[in-house]
């Protein structure tokens, strides 16, 4: 039987971790980049979904690429410890809807985060049994479209749809040749999509329209 999969972005799609991440990063910046203006949640929200080199260029332009990535690596390690301790804000209906989807489809996560971040999400919410696998930028140092294709090959997926919230998610999904469902409650607007959800609870119906 052909394996059908729903592949998820994490930030802005399954949860909103901006406040926790901003707190963790500001703690690191106060130690490693003193004098820098503190990050705001609004600033962090505008950057969510980008890779670490993109974050470095935006937030630490005065640092060399090597030093910027070193500081941001510490930010990522610190954010994982914060999330392991505090969790983050799940969007409404996420646990119930994931359980419903997992009966019919194989579920995966592909995110531009660093290694350890997806694991912190899965462990804090005891969600590992619902997902067959995940890939991150930190695992492979590949962009999202390449990770989507890598995951499809790795797990022998026949048909899949990607669920994300930003224009970069859409562009990477299209580059990987998949249908795209826009999580319109998340962090970004998109140029177009195959389906849109304003609530996570709408996802089973939209996924069925695309995957059957």
CATH superfamily of this structure's domain 4-16+88-211: HAD superfamily/HAD-like (3.40.50.1000)
Question: What average pLDDT does the chain have?
Answer: 95
* C-alpha–C-alpha distance, residues 120 and 86, integer Å: 10
User: Is a pLDDT exceeding 90 seen at residue 51?
Assistant: no
Task: Summarize the confidence of residues 181-207 as an average pLDDT.
Answer: 97
* C-alpha–C-alpha distance, residues 23 and 38, integer Å: 10
Enumerate the CATH 1.10.150 domain ranges in the chain, comma separated.
Answer: 18-86
Question: Looking at residue 10, what is its pLDDT?
Answer: 97
Question: Looking at residue 132, what is its pLDDT?
Answer: 98
Q: Which token pair is 182? A: 């826009």
Instruction: Rank 35-39, 62-66, 82-86, 101-105 by mean pLDDT and report only the highest.
Output: 101-105
User: Is a pLDDT exceeding 90 seen at residue 124?
Assistant: yes
* C-alpha–C-alpha distance, residues 81 and 87, integer Å: 10
Q: Which token pair is 54? A: 């993109």
Please state the φ and ψ torsions of residue 39, each to the nearest 5 degrees: -70, 145
User: Is a pLDDT exceeding 80 seen at residue 149?
Assistant: yes
Task: Summarize the confidence of residues 197-206 as an average pLDDT.
Answer: 98
Enumerate the CATH 3.40.50.1000 domain ranges in the chain, comma separated.
Answer: 4-16+88-211
User: Is a pLDDT exceeding 90 seen at residue 179?
Assistant: yes
DSSP, collapsed to helix, strand or coil, labels residue 23 as helix
Q: What is the pTM of this model?
A: 0.91
pLDDT class of 90 with cuts at 50, 70, 90? very high
Burial class (CB in 10 A: 0-12, 13-18, 19+), 31: exposed
Question: Looking at residue 49, what is its pLDDT?
Answer: 75
Question: Looking at residue 125, what is its pLDDT?
Answer: 96
Task: Summarize the confidence of residues 7-13 as an average pLDDT.
Answer: 97
Architecture of domain 18-86: Orthogonal Bundle (1.10)
User: Is a pLDDT exceeding 90 seen at residue 128?
Assistant: yes
Question: Looking at residue 13, what is its pLDDT?
Answer: 98
List all residues 6 or more positions away from 119 whose beta carbon is below 8 Å from its beta carbon: none
pLDDT class of 48 with cuts at 50, 70, 90? confident
């Amino acid at each position: 039987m052909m394996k059908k999969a729903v592949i998820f972005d994490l930030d802005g799609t399954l949860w909103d971790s901006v406040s926790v991440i901003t707190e963790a990063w500001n703690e690191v910046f106060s130690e490693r980049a003193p004098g820098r203006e503190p990050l705001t949640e609004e600033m962090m929200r505008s950057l969510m979904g980008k890779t670490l080199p993109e974050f470095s260029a935006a937030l630490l332009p005065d640092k060399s690429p090597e030093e910027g990535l070193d500081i941001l690596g510490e930010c990522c390690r610190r954010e994982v410890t914060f999330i392991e301790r505090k969790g983050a804000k799940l969007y409404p209906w996420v646990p119930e809807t994931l359980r419903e989807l997992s009966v019919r489809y194989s579920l995966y996560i592909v995110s531009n985060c660093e290694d350890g971040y997806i694991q912190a999400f899965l462990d804090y919410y005891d969600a590992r049994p619902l997902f067959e696998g995940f890939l991150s930028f930190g695992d492979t140092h590949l962009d999202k479209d390449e990770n989507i294709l890598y995951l499809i090959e790795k797990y022998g997926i026949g048909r899949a749809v990607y669920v994300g919230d930003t224009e970069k998610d859409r562009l990477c999904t299209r580059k990987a040749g998949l249908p795209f469902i826009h999580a319109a409650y998340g962090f970004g607007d998109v140029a177009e999509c195959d389906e849109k959800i304003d609530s996570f609870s709408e996802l089973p119906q939209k996924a069925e329209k695309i995957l059957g």
